[in-house]
Amino acid sequence: MSIRVNLIKPEEARRQGVVGMKFLTYVSASTAVAILLIFGGLSFMRYETGKNDLTAALNIWETREPMYNKSLKMKEDLATEKRFQQELRGWQAARIEWKPLLIELRKICPPTVQLRRLGIQGDLFIKQKPAAAPVDGEDSAKAAAPSLGLAMRWYTITMDGKAAGAMAEDIVVQFVRAFGSDPLFKPLFEKPPQLNSLQRDTTQGPDQPVRIFTIEGSTQKREMREPRAGQSP
């Protein structure tokens, strides 16, 4: 008969394995602490780098911001100035330069025709363009950028005169034709100018064949808008 007596106290017992329980506990705790330290250190480094980058970027922005704002203001002013000049060019495009036309009128007027009265009357039409509603995703301020709307000028030219001579009527009719087909006047008119009246001048004696007449013509409507490239005003 054999008896096995366990003389080892429980606290003296050793764990059966490669490493002991104490070692495992220490290594686990140290690994956790080491991982935490490495991770924390790396994060701290990244944080410090980021902070430095942010400070550097803030310094750069501090220098550039006034320049950028100045540049933006300059662009804004430039756009306003261009728009204003565009408006003035529109005014210029809508006007008719009368000097060459008055010289030409004197040239085409037959010697037996006397112009008694010359009237040029300008009319102006203006209409606002409704503001376009902003489409999805479009900046409302940009969408509301005003357009110049529609404005146009046109002129009515009226001439009263008298023609003397045997063929006074024919001369007046020829003058009307010459007026309408003249290379300077023709492009201006919407339709050829018309003879409104032609009658005998009753203030003259019967032996003096004098005819008094009225001619009227209207020009095309001229938009107060900057002419497009290649388009003559």
Partner 1 sequence: MDWASLSKEKKQALILVAMWVVGGISALYYFVLTPYFANRTASVNELDVLAAKIEQAAVAMRGESRLQAEYALCTEEFKQAIENYIVPMDNPLSWVTEKVYANARQVGVDVQTVAEVGSGSPYWDAAVKSERSVRPYGVRIVTECSYQQLIDLIEVLEKSNPALCITDISISPQDQSPSKHILNMTVEWPMWGRQLKIGLAETNKPPEGV
Binding residues vs partner 1 (CB under 8 A): 10, 21, 43, 46-47, 50-51, 53-54, 57-58, 60-61, 64-65, 67-68, 70-75, 77-78, 80-85, 87-88, 91-92, 94-99, 102-103, 106, 116-122, 124, 126-129, 131, 146-149, 151, 153, 155
Q: Which is nearer to partner 1, 102 or 167 (CB)?
A: 102
Question: Is the Cβ–Cβ distance between 129 and 149 less than 8 Å?
Answer: yes
Closest contact distance (angstroms) between CB of 221 and partner 1 is 14
* Nearest to partner 1 of 30, 167 (CB atom): 30
Nearer to partner 1, 74 or 167 (CB): 74
Least separation in angstroms between CB 120 and partner 1: 4
CA atoms within 13 A on the CB side of 52: 6
To partner 1, the closest distance from the beta carbon of 165 in angstroms equals: 19
Task: Answer whether 224's CB lies under 8 Å from 151's CB.
Answer: yes
Strands (E), the chain: 113-127, 150-164, 194-200, 210-218, 222-223
CA pair distance 149, 7, nearest whole angstrom: 111
Which residue's CB is nearer to partner 1, number 7 or number 67? 67
Between 50 and 167, whose beta carbon lies closer to partner 1? 50
Distance between CA atoms of 112 and 74, rounded to whole angstroms? 62
Q: How near is the Cβ of 1 to partner 1 at its closest, in Å? A: 29
Rounded to whole angstroms, the Cα distance separating 200 from 209 reads 7
CB of 52 or CB of 208, closer to partner 1: 52
The SS3 call for residue 76 is helix
Token pair in block for residue 174: 């020829």
125's tokens: 């039409």
| Dist. CA 104–CA 162, nearest whole Å | 19
Give the shortest CB-110-to-partner 1 separation in angstroms.
16
Residue 155 Cβ, how far from partner 1 at the closest point, in Å? 8
In single-letter form, the type of residue at position 101 comes to L
